[in-house]
Amino acid sequence: MPSTTQVTNLRDAATATPLLLLGQQADPDSERGTICPGTVPDPSDPALVERARTARAILGDDVFVLGHHYQRDEVIQFADVRGDSFKLARDATANGAPTIVFCGVHFMAETADILTAPTTQVVLPDLAAGCSMADMAEISQVEAAWEDLRAVGCGDGAEAGGVRTVPLTYMNSSAAIKSFTGRAGGAICTSSNARRAMEWAFEQGEQVLFMPDQHLGRNTAVRELGLSLGDCVTYDPAFPGGGVAPDRLRAAKVVLWRGHCSVHGTFMPAHVDDVRARVPGVQVLVHPEVRHEVVLAADHVGSTEAIIATLDAAPAGSKWAIGTELNLVGRLAQQHPDKTVVFLNEKVCFCATMNRIDLPHLVWALEELVAGRAPNVIRVDDDTALWAKVALDRMLALPGA
Ligand code: SF4
């Protein structure tokens, strides 16, 4: 299968290896385990903040720095805008800078490349900043799943009495899967607009194939659209036919891909019970990527932007336990000293790949740009980008998007 993403500065130097150590070797077909050419500053360098400021000032309006809310404090301070993946996708298109430095993960940089002009280059400061959820769905697996659906009379619904399946793909997915989604008549969604997107999908067909986050798909279908758990089946790409009996697959309203977020998936109902006992009067607010049982136990559910807005609007003295990525929860606690803000799970749980973008890598990327070199440029091939953009544009055209 050809790679959809070309890493321009590693293409020639790479050698395939079965086991790649993060940050030490190169693989042209993957964002994983890739080297940064040149010298990445030492994390102990006391001049790092000053070096970042200096490089940022020299680059001026030629560079636009996007920062996802889950980024480290040391990095997000240099972001021109902050946001979740949906907001950053819009911000990437709105700014005309020739270079975007994306402080986030690989699929976000791919999306920025797809949505911006061909002359815009998108730089990811560390190519090892991937997403474990996105990695749980490969394009060959998705194509096989589509064949499984067609084999039971679903999919494109071409046969007489066939069931029309509409793919609905979370932003947290590869460009290749976004492209498949566009070709197959589907759309992209984020946690901010999953409900509207699923309603739209049911206007186009009778069945939704939701990829790759089973939890967001289930929570949206059951909590937002009022479907039952029995209306949903979980398709596991590791098993023939997804491990679902053909009649169940055909009858399902929502086919959930068996993927999850390795951060949000750690929250359990017991954590909700525990924090209620530890912090009397606490309100539990969780991201919809958490398990359905956790959503049922929580008081509120909301996307990353909704979590931030809820805390902004909350009265002084209120108490909150937040079930999302720890960098963001720590920042919310700092920004709201008049409120009690605690992490839902007492154990520390950062997103390891988001944290790959640290200040040394940001300084390295900015200084490379100052030197006239564009490092780690993320480029999606034209055919993949064309259909992925169709799927993204369907999302951007949703009412209220
Ligand atoms: S928090 Fe989860 S979904 Fe987001 S980038 Fe990390 S692994 Fe992926």
Please work out whether the CB of residue 25 comes within 6 Å of at least one atom of ligand 1. no
Please work out whether the CB of residue 283 comes within 6 Å of at least one atom of ligand 1. no
pTM: 0.90
The predicted-structure confidence for 219-237, as pLDDT tens digits, reads as follows 999 999 999 999 999 999 9
Could you give the percent of the chain with pLDDT greater than 90? Answer: 79
The predicted-structure confidence for 310-320, as pLDDT tens digits, reads as follows 999 999 999 99
The predicted-structure confidence for 144-178, as pLDDT tens digits, reads as follows 999 999 999 999 877 768 999 999 999 999 999 99
Claim to verify: residue 13 and residue 51 sit in the same structural domain: yes
**Residues with Cβ < 8 Å from 21, sequence gap 6 or more?**
33
Strands (E), 77-147: 81-83, 99-103, 121-123
151/140 Cα distance (integer angstroms): 17
Please work out whether the CB of residue 129 comes within 6 Å of at least one atom of ligand 1. no
Among 27-31, 60-64, 155-159, 337-341, the least confident range: 27-31
Predicted pLDDT of residue 92: 86
Instruction: Give the closest residue to 125 by CA, choosing from 85, 79, 179.
Output: 79
Claim to verify: residue 40 and residue 77 sit in the same structural domain: yes
User: Mean pLDDT across the stretch 246-252?
Assistant: 97
Encoded amino acid at 172, one letter: N
Predicted pLDDT of residue 45: 86
* Cα-to-centroid distance, 321 and ligand 1 (Å): 19
Among protein residues, the one with the nearest Cα to ligand 1's atom 3 is 261
Please work out whether the CB of residue 385 comes within 6 Å of at least one atom of ligand 1. no
Report DSSP state, residue 61.
Answer: G
Among protein residues, the one with the nearest Cα to ligand 1's atom 1 is 351
Claim to verify: residue 78 and residue 18 sit in the same structural domain: yes
User: Mean pLDDT across the stretch 255-270?
Assistant: 96
Domain tally, the chain: 3
Please work out whether the CB of residue 261 comes within 6 Å of at least one atom of ligand 1. yes
Claim to verify: residue 219 and residue 163 sit in the same structural domain: yes
Instruction: Please report, for the domain that includes residue 96, its CATH number.
Output: 3.40.50.10800
Claim to verify: residue 205 and residue 279 sit in the same structural domain: no
80/95 Cα distance (integer angstroms): 11
Residue 66 near residue 104 (C-beta atoms within 8 A): yes
Domain final residue pick, 260, 286, 302: 260
Kindly state the tokens that stand for 341: 């803000």
Q: Is residue 240 part of a domain?
A: yes
- pLDDT band for 8, please (50, 70, 90 cuts): very low
Instruction: Please spell the DSSP secondary structure of 128-170, one letter per residue.
Output: T---TTGGG--HHHHHHHHHHHHHTT-TB--STTPPBEEEEEE
Which residue intervals of 314-400 are DSSP H helices?
326-335, 359-370, 382-396
User: Mean pLDDT across the stretch 130-142?
Assistant: 94
**Residues with Cβ < 8 Å from 137, sequence gap 6 or more?**
173, 174, 177, 211, 212, 237, 257, 259
Encoded amino acid at 188, one letter: I
The predicted-structure confidence for 347-366, as pLDDT tens digits, reads as follows 767 898 899 999 999 999 99
128/125 Cα distance (integer angstroms): 9
The predicted-structure confidence for 322-347, as pLDDT tens digits, reads as follows 999 999 999 999 999 999 999 999 77
Please work out whether the CB of residue 92 comes within 6 Å of at least one atom of ligand 1. no
Among protein residues, the one with the nearest Cα to ligand 1's atom 2 is 261
Report DSSP state, residue 229.
Answer: G
Neighbours of 189 (CB within 10 A): 29
Domain hosting 277: range is 264-343
Claim to verify: residue 167 and residue 235 sit in the same structural domain: yes
Please work out whether the CB of residue 79 comes within 6 Å of at least one atom of ligand 1. no
Please work out whether the CB of residue 325 comes within 6 Å of at least one atom of ligand 1. yes
Question: Does position 214 have pLDDT exceeding 50, yes or no?
Answer: yes
109/66 Cα distance (integer angstroms): 10
Q: Is residue 166 part of a domain?
A: yes
Of ligand 1's listed atoms, the one at least distance from the Cα of 105 is 5
Please work out whether the CB of residue 354 comes within 6 Å of at least one atom of ligand 1. yes
**H helix or E strand, kind and range, residue 340:** strand 340-343
Please work out whether the CB of residue 71 comes within 6 Å of at least one atom of ligand 1. no
Strands (E), 162-282: 165-170, 187-189, 207-211, 232-235, 254-257
Encoded amino acid at 131, one letter: C
Among protein residues, the one with the nearest Cα to ligand 1's atom 6 is 351
Residue 143 near residue 177 (C-beta atoms within 8 A): no
* Cα-to-centroid distance, 172 and ligand 1 (Å): 8
Q: Cα dihedral angle (217, 398, 186, 171), rounded to 10 degrees?
A: -50
Claim to verify: residue 116 and residue 224 sit in the same structural domain: no
Predicted pLDDT of residue 290: 97
Claim to verify: residue 113 and residue 165 sit in the same structural domain: no
Claim to verify: residue 38 and residue 115 sit in the same structural domain: yes
